[in-house]
Amino acid sequence: MKLIKIFRNINIFTFLTFLIFLIFLISYDTFVVFAETKKIENTEQKEYKITNMISIDFENYKKIRLILNNYFVIEGIKFYSDGTIEFPYYLAKNKIKYISIIFIDKNLERHILDIIKKEKYLENNFEFNTESVNFEVKKITKLETKGTRLANVDLLIDNKFIIVLGIMAGKKGKNKWIAYPAEKIDNYYHNQIYFLNQKLKDRIEKNILEKYEKQDF
């Protein structure tokens, strides 16, 4: 009887307001779950595979050049006779090695290591739309040392790997440009990690330079 009296005393407007609020909460939770599910699905759909690979024999190792998804090149990978695999790195003046590419997706890393060891790939017809590539500037580190290299940039690609690039000063500090990991051979620098697709390359470099100019160091 007391419960019936309580319901009789509830204002119809208050009841409807509560009902609408309850429906909103249920709808919002459903939307969030759906959005997160789609996000996961989109992430899982994007595959990365070796689409081309070249191996050159040296005395104690093989030098590997491979292409991922027909647009991203990694050169200068060393496959030693003892089975060790070494990715490109930058050797600082203090003799510390800085790896030029860091794999976030460990499945992709295992795929690459396995293909290098087997020296066989089957993905040369793999199609990939470079317009779908997502990238994010994770960190810009300004360099205090004198020289043309102004900063280092950690660039994340499709949540698969991070590559370390450099922001370089042009003549008289103008016309800044992006430097890619490179190896010096016969007094010339040869890029070891780079993009084959020019439109994607331009889009990434423009984004990096814009973010650098906005930084408050």
Say whether both 187 and 161 belong to one domain. Answer: yes
Q: Please return the burial class of 130, using the count of CB atoms within 10 Å of its CB with bins 0-12, 13-18 and 19+.
A: middle
**Residue 127, C-beta contacts closer than 8 angstroms, at least 6 positions apart:** 70
**DSSP class of 10:** S
10-residue stretch averages of pLDDT, the chain, 217 residues long: 48 58 52 42 68 93 95 96 93 81 96 90 74 96 86 96 94 84 90 97 97 85
Pair 25, 56 in one domain: no
Q: Do 54 and 96 fall within a single domain?
A: yes
Q: Which residues pair with 62 in a beta bridge?
A: 57, 79
**Measured distance CA(155)–CA(26) in Å, rounded:** 38
Q: What is the DSSP letter of 5?
A: H
Please report the sign of the dihedral spanned by the C-alpha atoms of residue 157, residue 211, residue 165, residue 97.
negative
Q: Which two tokens stand for residue 197?
A: 């697709």
Closest listed residue to residue 53, CA positions, set 99, 119, 98: 119
pTM: 0.75
| 38 and 70 belong to one structural domain | no
What are the start-end ranges of the H helices in 10-90?
12-45
Q: Which 3 state secondary structure label does DSSP give 172?
A: helix
pLDDT at 139: 95
Rounded to an integer, what distance in angstroms lies between the CA atom of residue 136 and that of residue 154? 9
Instruction: Tell me, letter by letter, the H, E, C secondary structure of 96-151.
Output: CEEECEEECCHHHHHHHHHHHHHCCCCCCCCCCCHHHCCEEEEEEEECCCCCCEEE
How many structural domains are present in the chain?
A: 2
> Do 27 and 80 share a domain, yes or no?
no
Same domain, 91 and 179: yes
Residue appearing with tokens 């984004």: 207
Q: What is the pLDDT of residue 31?
A: 43
Residue-number span of the structural domain to which 39 is assigned: 2-43
pLDDT reported for residue 38: 42
Mark whether 111 and 7 lie in a shared domain. Answer: no
What pLDDT shows up at residue 98? 84
Q: What are phi and psi of 23, to 5 degrees?
A: -65, -40
Residues 186 and 103 in one domain: yes
Do 138 and 110 share a domain, yes or no? yes
Beta bridge mates, 182: 191
Whether 39 and 54 map to the same domain: the answer is: no
Query: What's the pLDDT score for residue 15?
Result: 54
33 and 58 fall within a common domain: no
Q: Is 91 helix (H, G, I), strand (E, B) or coil?
A: strand
Residues 15 and 37 in one domain: yes
* pLDDT number for residue 145: 75
- CA 126, CA 48: separation in Å to the nearest integer? 9
